[in-house]
Amino acid sequence: MSERSQVARARRLVVKIGSALLTNDGRGLDVEALGRWVDQIAGLIADGVEVVVVSSGSVAEGMSRLGWTVRPAQLHELQAAAAVGQMGLVQTWEAQLKRHGLRSAQILLTHDDLSDRKRYLNGRSTLRALLDFSVVPIVNENDSVVTDEIRFGDNDTLGALVANLIEADGLIILTDQEGLFDCDPRNNPDARLVVQRQASDSGLDAMAAGGAGVLGRGGMQTKVRAARLAARSGAFTIIVGGRLDTVLGRLRRGEALGTLLLPDQGRMAARKQWLASHLQTRGQLMLDEGAVRVLCQGGRSLLPVGIKSVSGKFRRGEMVSCTDVSGREVARGLVNYDADEARAIAGRSSDRIADVLGYISDDEMIHRDNLVIV
């Protein structure tokens, strides 16, 4: 059975649609285009697929309504445009879905919603309930209140995190290019489409180099990054041209369109999945070679003795990144000591913690149950 048959067998998909496919070159929403997307989504639903839509377009629609032709740089202006545009975006989705007898719901998320374990579980329960009720969730970043510190950065990343959240089988990223090419097709006529790779393939990074469009925040690099995030929950990603005729139906029938990026392994346990999806870290622990080897090969907890240096400001229970000596992230987890305590006991054996700090909270810097290899 071919890898492309995964789409045909999928029962839950996240479909992310970029601004270029939903707007009239910055002149607001293209209602006819959005209606055609709804027709295709309705076809997937009729075939038994649960669909969550991650929709760009709120800022572009807001810019049009406010008479702006250039995307603002100031955060408060972006937030104002998003707030104005979100009204038109959800109204249009709702009206178009009603043509097929489908109900819709608006879900606005911030990074804090997925960083906090309780709010993460609440968000997952809400989305699953909506799907159980045959409602189509329309998801967007809550741009009107988000700050740079808690921004997802782009809707590709948001789409991947939603795929993790609902344990989707796959993420389809619809863009204004046919897929990922081995070099920039805008500058090189000999560029070839990458048909299929593992999402973890490091060679994808050089291929994906390039900028974003005028309206969007994401380029091909963000799409590759999103595929890697989605792969952590065992989901495949397809980056595909949204201007291809009936592209969703053709993918469903198993056509080899766009670029298919595959996960290396199946889904993580739910808690590990949340840890892997937790993009915000408060600090960094640099590990020696022995600690990296133990974590990656032995499935062990991280002990203070394996830590070479500590950076950042964090408190007990917050997320930190663990890197090797070259700076490559190898793991992340919830730390048992705050930053100053971690610096004091770094490189020391666990039986010395009480001597250094005057007390001992845990033998481990990060327990294996709160640690995930990335």
pTM: 0.76
Residue 331 gets which letter from DSSP? E
Dihedral sign from CA coordinates of 311, 315, 316, 317: negative
pLDDT score recorded for residue 153: 56
Domains of the chain plus CATH, in order, are 5-272 (3.40.1160.10), 281-373 (2.30.130.10)
- Using pLDDT thresholds of 50, 70 and 90, give the confidence band for residue 361: confident
Query: What's the pLDDT tens digit per position in 149-201?
Result: 434 557 898 999 899 888 899 999 999 889 999 887 777 888 899 999 999 88
Mean pLDDT of 11-34: 88
> What residues have CB less than 8 Å from 106, skipping those under 6 apart?
86, 90, 137, 138, 140
Output the pLDDT for position 218: 47
> What is the model's pLDDT at position 340?
95
Confidence of residue 20 (pLDDT cuts 50, 70, 90): confident
Q: Taking Cα atoms as reference points, which of 220, 253, 260 lies closest to residue 40?
A: 253
Confidence of residue 271 (pLDDT cuts 50, 70, 90): low
Q: Which pLDDT tens digit goes with each residue over 52-89?
A: 999 988 888 888 889 888 888 888 888 888 889 999 99
Is the pLDDT at 362 greater than 90? The verdict is no
**What does 197-240 look like in DSSP terms, one character per residue?**
EETT-TTHHHHH-----SS-S--HHHHHHHHHHHHTTT-EEEEE
Is the pLDDT at 248 greater than 80? The verdict is: yes
